[in-house]
Structure 1
Amino acid sequence: MASALKNLSTYDESNIPDASPLNFGVVVADWNKDITHELYRGCLETLTKHGAKEENIHVVQVPGTFELPAAARILAGREKLHAVVCIGCVIKGETKHDEYINNSVAQGLVNLSIATGLPYIFGVLTPNTHEQAVDRAGGKHGNKGVEAGVTAIRMGELYRGAKEGRSGIGFR
């Protein structure tokens, strides 16, 4: 669903597990930092709101969105994590540069998730304009960082359950 049709900060809080037993990685791109740091703020607030302990949230910053998959893999190799959120923003320019970056990052995170089983969350904005990015980083369409934080909690709990041998997933 297009974010213009849904507020990225709105979710069913009753469907969110307790995040207190989970460890998270968060990788934040500095490129477009006015946007990415707002996304990070939304993610961090969401994680802690649902019980994540600040000492269990491991954060690294990288120069740009293209570096997210490599940094996420390095962070996951250094810390025992249940999910890694990757936050970036690539605004369309005059060339196809954005397509190469966005596709590479998305594929990299998918490959990491499949190869390791660890959830790598795509918290990357891919807007056409800076205004669209602002609208999705706490503006009129909410904050994609909140959505990424919710996804990390839900997928992190699924990952933790699988590691502990729990087989029940899905509707209850």
Structure 2
Amino acid sequence: MSSADKNLSVFKTEGLPDISSKKFGILVAEWNTEVTEKLFEGAYQTLINNGASPENIERGNVPGSFELTLGAQWFAERRDIDAVIALGVVIQGETKHNDYINHAVAQGITNVSLKSGKPIIFGVLTPNNMEQALDRAGGVHGNKGDEAAITAIKMLGLYNQIATAGAY
């Protein structure tokens, strides 16, 4: 389902785990700050609203979305970080740069997550234009930052479920 058909800030919250002792790294791309700051605000506030302690949320800035992968790896290498949320936006332009950047970042985030065994959440918007980006950063389609934070929480809950069942 596309975000045009779903509000990114509406999600099921039943059964979310206790995250009061969990530590989150949030990476924010500095390119298109008008959008990425709104994504950060959404992610941060969603974590707080669902029980995270402000002192357990650490922000890191990277120059652009391409650098989210390495930043995510650095956060994931820290033992005290439980989950990482990577926030950025790559807007379709006149060249195909977005195809290369989006693919590289998606693959990189996946690789870091698999390598670290930690939730590394892809909170990168890939819109056709700035209007679509703003619509998904707190506008008419909600906030991808909210969705990314809830995804991190739910993945930590799944890990707890599996670990409790004796798999780890």
TM-score, L = length of structure 2: 0.94
- Cα deviation digits, residues 141-170 of structure 1 (max 9, x gap): 0000000010011112333555xx31289x
1:155 aligned residue: 155
1:58 aligned residue: 58
2:3 aligned residue: 3
Report the count of equivalent residues.
167
Q: Name the CA distance, whole Å, in 2 between partners of 1:156 and 1:98.
A: 30
Helix, strand or coil for the counterpart of 2:164? coil
1:74 alignment partner AA: W
Q: Name the CA distance, whole Å, in 2 between partners of 1:75 and 1:47.
A: 17
1:114 alignment partner AA: L
Alpha-carbon RMSD across the aligned residues, in angstroms, is: 1.6
1:99 alignment partner AA: D
Helix, strand or coil for the counterpart of 1:14? coil
**Which has the larger displacement, 19-28 or 133-142?**
19-28
Q: Name the CA distance, whole Å, in 2 between partners of 1:168 and 1:7.
A: 36
Contact 2:25 2:59 in 1 (8 A): yes
Contact 2:77 2:116 in 1 (8 A): no
Gaps of 5+ in 2: none
Moved over 3 A (4+): 159-162
Helix, strand or coil for the counterpart of 2:121? strand
2:165 aligned residue: 167
2:34 alignment partner AA: D
**Which has the larger displacement, 120-129 or 148-157?**
148-157
1:100 aligned residue: 100
Q: Name the CA distance, whole Å, in 2 between partners of 1:132 and 1:16.
A: 30
Q: Name the CA distance, whole Å, in 1 between partners of 2:10 and 2:128.
A: 23
1:143 aligned residue: 143
Q: Name the CA distance, whole Å, in 2 between partners of 1:168 and 1:100.
A: 40
1:5 alignment partner AA: D
* Identical aligned residues as a percent: 51
